[in-house]
Structure 1
Amino acid sequence: MAERFIQSIERAADVLELFLTANQELSVKEISEKVGLSKSTVHGIIKTLEFRGYLKQNPDDLKYKLGMKLFELGNRVSSQFDLGEMTRPIIRKLVDELKETVHLVVFERDEVIYVEKMDGPRALRIYSQIGKRAPIHCTGVGKSILAFQEEKEIERLLSNADIKQFTNYTMTDKELIKKHLQTIRERGYAIDDEEIELGLKCVAAPIFNHHGKVIGSISCASPKMRLDDSKLSKVITEIKQAATEISEGLGYQHNNVYM
C-alpha cells in the first residue's frame, strides 16, 4: 500500500525549508513564487506557522523569518543526539566493504578524540583507542579536521599543538604542514602515510555540521602493504561517501562550507 502524505503539512514543510538556502527573511510574495503556490494559500500557511511560533514577522518590512520554536526543537534534537549511534551502521558497512579498521573522531575544545573504533577481520594493534587524543598534525583524522578550519584558527591550533615527530615521515615544519593542508582541502580527504606509525596508512575525510563547520572525521586504517593503488582508490571513495552521508545526516549542505 502506498504511503499517504498530508498535503498541507508538506506545503508547510516546503515553506520552512526555504529558509535553509534562501535569505533569512522572505515576503509572502517571495515565498509564493519559490514554492509555486498562490499568495492566499501561502498567507494561510504562514499565519498558522507564525501562530505556533515557527515563523516570526518583522514589523519594519513585514517579511518573515524563522521563529524561536524551531530553535527550541533544534536544541532538543541536539541534546538527544548521539553521533556514535547515528554513525555506527555507516561504520559497520565500511568495515564490511573495506575489511579494515574504521575510526570516528570528534573535534572538541581543540582536541581530536577517538569516539568510535570498529576493527576489520584482521584487527590492528595501532595507536588509536576510544577516548584517546589524536595528534592533529600527523593523523589522517587530525589533518582532515585541521585543513577545514579558518586560516587564523589553523595558525592558532598549530601554535598550541605539540608538533611531535613520531616517525621519519612526520611533518614538523609548520609552513610545510600548512601547504599540505591546502592539498587536503582541494582533494577533500587526508592521508596519513606512516606519519604516526611505521607500516600504517590511513585515509580520512572531514564531517561537517549544519553550519558547514567541521566537527569530526572518519577514517580507514590499514597496513600500508594492503593498500595498493586499486584498494587505496576504493578506500578514498568509500570514506568520502561515508563522511558526506554523516554530514548530510547532521544537516550539512554543500553550499554552507565554513571557509
Structure 2
Amino acid sequence: MLNVDPQKPESTALRAFAVLEYVAHANTPVSLDDVTHACKLPKPTVFRILSMLFEADLVYREPLGKRYTVGARSAALALDVLRHSTLRSQPHTVLQELVDAVGETCNLTILDGNQVLYLDRVETPMPLRLHLEPGTRVPLHCTASGKLFLMNMTQKQIEALIGKPPYKRFTSRTITEWEPLKEELARARETGVGLHDSELFDDSVAIAVPLSDTSGRVYAALALHGPTSRLDIAACLKLLPDLRGAASAIADAMAPLNKQASHVTQSDSAELL
C-alpha cells in the first residue's frame, strides 16, 4: 500500500488515494475501523475521506452494514486502464490462442465488489454463441468464476457480499440456498475448478480455473463457455489442460500487477470480518 506521512499537509491527495487503494485491494467490504487501522490515519480523517470518495462514486457503502467496497466509477477507471495498458496485450494474446485451440469462447474475470467482472473476452468463431462484452458483470453464486472467488471465504464473508439466502434465481438450475452452495464451493476448493451448468443462462455450460498469487489468494479466473448443444460439463473438463496452461501463461503476464497487490491475502480479508 502507498505510504504517506500524515504530518505533511501536501499528502492530502495521497491519503485519499491510500484509502481508495486499500478498499480496492481488499477481497471483501471493509469497515471504517479496518481502513483506519490499515492506513494508520486518524479515524475522523478516514471518515471524511471515505465520505468524499462515496460522494464521488469512487467507493460504495453498504446501506445496512456500513462497509465499503469499490464504487462503479473506480471499477470503470480500472477497466479503462487495463484496456489501454501494455500489460493487457499479452493476456489477450494468450486468450486468443486458447480460443483458437479449444474452439469455444473464453474470458478473464476478476472479483468486483459483489459481482464477477469480465476483464477480457474472446468469442468463438462458431455462429451459435453467447455474446457478452468486456466490462459485463455477472453474479457470484451461479457462475463458474464466481464460485472460485467465493470458495475460500467463510459463510459470513459470503453473506457480506451477496446477502443471505435465498439467492436470486435466474434459471431452474440456479442454486438459491446455502447448503447446496456450500457443497458446490467445497467441490471447487477440492478440484480447483468452478462449474456453471445452465445456472445463469439456460442451455449454457462453463468451467473456470483460478489465477492465484503465492499466498493462495484468487485474484482472477479464466473461464470457458459453450452452448449445451455442443458441450456438456464432461466435455469441458477434457479441455482443462488447455485452460490451466493458458491460466499459467496469463498469470506470468500479469505478475507486475499482481506484485502490487500481493500484500493483501485471503487471510487478511478473514481478519477484517
157, 180, 183: which is aligned to 1:179?
A: 183
After superposition, the C-alpha distances for 1:226-258 in whole angstroms (9 at most, x for unaligned) are: 225773233222222322333344448xxxx84
Local SS of the residue matching 2:238: helix
- Please say if 1:95 is aligned against 2:107: no
Alignment CA distance shift 1:169-1:127 (3 Å): farther
Distance 1:146 1:223 in 2: 25
Cα deviation digits, residues 134-187 of structure 1 (max 9, x gap): 110111111122113355423422327992111111100022111210001101
TM-score by length of 2: 0.57
- Call closer, same or farther: CA 1:96–1:195 in 2, change over 3 Å: same
Structure 1 stretch displaced more, 231-240 or 151-160: 151-160
The equivalences for 1:49-64 within 5 A come to none
**Structure 2 partner of 1:202:** 206
Distance of 1:130 and 1:162 partners within structure 2: 29
Cα RMSD of the aligned pairs, angstroms, is 3.2
* Identical pairs, percent: 28
Amino acid across the alignment from 1:117:
R
Unpaired segments of 5 or more residues in structure 2? Answer: 1-80, 259-264, 268-273
CA 224–242 in structure 1, closer or farther in 2 if over 3 Å, else same = same
CA shift for structure 1 position 125: 4.5
Counterpart for residue 26 of structure 2: none
User: How far apart, in 2, do the equivalents of 1:139 and 1:186 lie?
Assistant: 17
1:243 is matched with 247
CA distance in 1, matches of 2:175, 2:147: 11
CA contact (8 A) 1:200 1:222 kept: yes
Distance 1:160 1:86 in 2: 39
Structure 1 residue 145 corresponds to structure 2 residue 149: yes
Q: Does 1:156 align with 2:160?
A: yes
Letter in 1 for 2:145: V
Q: Higher mean Cα deviation, 128-137 or 181-190?
A: 128-137
Answer whether contact 2:175 2:199 (CA < 8 A) is retained.
yes
| Conserved? CA contact 1:84–1:115, under 8 Å | no
Q: In structure 2, what is the equivalent of residue 214 of structure 1?
A: 218
Bigger RCO of structures 1 and 2 (CA < 8 A, at least 6 apart): 2
Larger radius of gyration between Structure 1 and Structure 2: 1
The aligned residue for residue 227 of structure 1 is 231
Q: Is the 8 A contact 2:108 2:119 kept in 1?
A: yes
Question: Which ranges of structure 1 fall in alignment gaps of 5 or more residues?
Answer: 1-77
